[in-house]
Homo-oligomer: A and B are copies of this chain.
Amino acid sequence: MSNQAIQEHTMINGVNVDQQEETIQAVKKQPELAQFQFRAHNQWKGGGHNQIHADTYYGTCQELQRNESFALTADQPSTLLGTNKGPTPFEYLLTALSSCLTTSLVYQAAAQGITIDRLESDYEGDINLQGILGVNPDVRKGFEEIRVRINVDSNADTDMLRGLLENSPILDVIRNPTPVKIEFVTE
């Protein structure tokens, strides 16, 4: 019976496109299902060492909790006065972009019946630390530019695939201004 249930689903690129279509129809009827909130907690461990946990999130009109919390470690390499216990914040940003571009392409392709057989991508971001170090205030503090190279095997051409990437939320956040509100609280 569980085999029968599995066979009823159409999978494209590892995505359950029946469930995908049901989600779209459900959101059309009840738009508030699409309001999500993601969260992270950061615990400073000393120097450049950070421990981050991601656990609960909100979506489909309810609080959602995973079985276990995801733990991540961030640090700086010794070149940047750290102890190299984990990737830098810069590499976490490229990780966010890369996984969002990949998933956006794969999910959008699945919805349109486009098959993706292989998908790899490389990311590089240039940053000039003169800005952060206060040596030259005219230098931007963030990435000057991020470059992405995508290597894909698909039955669709690259112009079609390029269009699908434009749906990526993290690409939107990086390319366009996003408000960040910061408040200090005391326990």
Residues of A contacting B: mostly = mixed
Given contacts A24-B135, A98-B50, contact A38 B124 (CB under 8 A): yes
Mask, A24-35, CB within 8 Å of B = 1, is 100110010011
**Which residues of B are found within 8 Å of A88, using beta-carbon distances?**
38, 54, 57, 99
Q: In the complex, are the beta carbons of B129 and A94 less than 8 A apart?
A: no
Q: Which residue of B lies closest to A43 (CB)?
A: B120
Classify chain A: how many residues form its interface, as a range.
35 or more
Q: Once the chains bind, are B34 and A57 in contact (CB under 8 Å)?
A: no
* A141, B64: Cα distance in complex, Å: 21
Q: Nearest chain-B residue to A39 (Cβ)? A: B124
- Give CA–CA (A80, B39) in the complex, Å: 16
- A92: shortest Cβ distance to chain B, in Å? 4
Selected contact of A182 from candidates B19, B100, B162, CB within 8 Å: B162
Of B47, B49, B102, B127, the contact of A50 (CB 8 Å cutoff) = B102
Quick one: which of A67-119 are within 8 Å of B by CB? Answer: 70, 72, 74, 76-77, 79-81, 84, 86-104, 106-107, 116, 118-119
Please determine whether A130 and B19 come into contact, CB atoms closer than 8 angstroms: no
The 21 sampled A-B contact pairs (Cβ below 8 Å) are A27-B133, A28-B135, A35-B128, A36-B126, A41-B121, A42-B102, A44-B120, A48-B106, A54-B87, A54-B95, A64-B79, A70-B87, A76-B103, A88-B99, A92-B92, A95-B96, A142-B172, A143-B178, A148-B182, A171-B180, A175-B177
